[in-house]
Amino acid sequence: MKPERAGRSGGFWGVEFAVGDAHEKLEKALRVRFPGYIWSRCQAHFQRNVLGRVLPPIATTR
C-alpha cells in the first residue's frame, strides 16, 4: 500500500513509530503523511551496512 493512500483506504492511522532501512523517499513520504512520527533505522540493515564497510569481502565458491 502506498503511504499517500494509506489514510483514505483505511490501512493506517495514528502512526507514531516506523522502522526501516535508509530509504530516503520512504522516510519523506512518511514524514508528509504522518507528521511527528519517530523513525528508527532497522538494526539488521544498519549492521549489514557497517560490516560491509569494515570487513574485507569474503570469497564465495558456488
**Pairing between strand 38-41 and 17-20?**
parallel
Between CA 49 and CA 27 the distance in angstroms is: 18
| pLDDT bucket at 60, cuts 50 / 70 / 90 | low
pLDDT tens column, 27-53: 888 888 888 888 888 888 888 888 888
Scanning 1-62, the segments in alpha helix (DSSP H) are 3-9, 24-33, 43-54
Between CA 16 and CA 35 the distance in angstroms is: 9
Cα separations (Å) of 8 from 2, 15, 23, 24, 31? Answer: 11, 14, 23, 23, 17
User: pTM of this prediction?
Assistant: 0.48
